């Protein structure tokens, strides 16, 4: 019976990694739509969010069934509860990708990102997409070392966020309030994607070691 339980629990983590794959695609597509003014691609990200929501519901249903039918305790209980929190964070990462896509769509036929801040936003998008990709591997492998190392990428994201603020607050900023608001929001969205990625990775550390890293949020 416990073998069946652990097979079902492993299946939940496979599904979590699958959601990571969907989120990675959403982050990448939203960023490309943002930087190219591609309204069709932006719409695809926005409409595709329902698939991430549906996948989250399926993981939650599986986890609740494990809780109710198997009554796990100790490490097994810790793992199921962590999975429920992880899937919620992954869904939020998908929602943040939608926010990026909506800014892209709002500015079509123009492009929301002024040329002089484009390198910073491009780098933020790259870091965010890479962090989501790494989280999927961390979930599948239960890789504690990789989970801890992910924090360094989050530090890079924080530095990029500060750079974006410096750029939009510069005295020679000539793109008006609307563009400044867009850049401020985009910086926040990418930063939060990174924060959620680190939080998911930290929950993997918790599952494997029982230690609760200080950066895990409730």
pLDDT tens digits, one per residue of 61-120: 999 988 887 777 778 888 889 999 999 999 999 999 999 999 999 999 999 999 999 999
Considering the domain boundaries, does residue 215 fall inside one?
no
Token pair 């029982």 is at which residue? 210
How high is the pLDDT of residue 9? 84
Q: How high is the pLDDT of residue 1?
A: 52
For residues 155-168, average pLDDT: 94
- Specify the 3-state DSSP secondary structure of 176: helix
In a domain, 216, yes or no: no
The domain that contains 142 carries what CATH number? 1.20.58.220
Q: Is residue 99 part of a domain?
A: yes
- Which sign does the torsion angle of CA 115, 117, 123, 125 carry? negative
Give, to the nearest 10 degrees, the angle between helix 74-107 and helix 39-70: 160
Q: Specify if 218 maps to a domain.
A: no
Give the model's pLDDT for residue 217.
Answer: 44
Within 8 A by CB and 6+ apart from 96, the residues are 189, 190, 192, 193, 196
Residue 77 lies in a domain: yes
Least confident of 45-49, 188-192, 208-212: 208-212
Q: What does the pLDDT read at residue 2? A: 65
pLDDT band at 215 (very low <50, low <70, confident <90, very high): very low
Q: Count the domains in the chain.
A: 1
Domain of residue 159 covers 2-209
> Between these two residues, 140 and 75, which has the higher pLDDT value?
140
Is residue 217 in some structural domain? no
What is the pLDDT, as a whole number, of residue 218? 39
Question: Average of pLDDT values for 133-155?
Answer: 93
pLDDT value of position 77: 85
Model confidence over 167-187: pLDDT tens digits?
Answer: 988 988 999 999 999 999 999
Whether the predicted pLDDT of 196 surpasses 60: yes
pTM for this model (two decimals) = 0.92
No. of helices (H) and no. of strands (E), the chain: 6, 0
Nearest to 112 by CA among 162, 179, 184, 205: 179
Torsion of CA 134, 138, 140, 141, to 10 degrees: 120
Residues 20-59 have pLDDT tens digits of: 999 999 999 999 999 999 999 999 999 999 999 999 999 9
């Amino acid at each position: 019976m416990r073998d069946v339980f652990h097979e079902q629990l492993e299946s939940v983590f496979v599904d979590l990694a699958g959601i990571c794959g969907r989120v990675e695609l959403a982050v990448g597509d939203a960023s490309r739509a943002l930087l190219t003014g591609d309204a069709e691609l932006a719409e695809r990200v926005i409409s595709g969010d329902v698939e991430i929501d549906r996948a989250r519901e399926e993981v939650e249903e599986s986890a609740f069934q494990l809780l109710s039918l198997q009554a796990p305790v100790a490490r097994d209980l810790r793992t199921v509860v962590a999975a429920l929190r992880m899937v919620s964070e992954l869904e939020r990462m998908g929602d943040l990708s939608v926010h990026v896509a909506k800014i892209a769509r709002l500015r079509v036929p123009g492009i929301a990102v002024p040329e002089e801040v484009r390198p910073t936003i491009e780098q933020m998008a790259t870091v965010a997409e890479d962090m989501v990709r790494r989280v999927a591997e961390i979930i599948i492998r239960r890789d504690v070392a990789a989970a801890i190392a992910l924090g360094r990428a989050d530090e890079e994201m924080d530095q990029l966020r500060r750079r974006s603020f410096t750029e939009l607050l510069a005295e020679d900023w000539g793109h008006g309030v609307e563009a400044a608001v867009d850049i401020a929001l985009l910086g926040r969205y990418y930063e939060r994607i990174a924060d959620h990625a680190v939080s998911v990775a930290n929950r993997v550390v918790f599952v494997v070691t029982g230690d609760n890293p200080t950066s895990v949020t409730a």
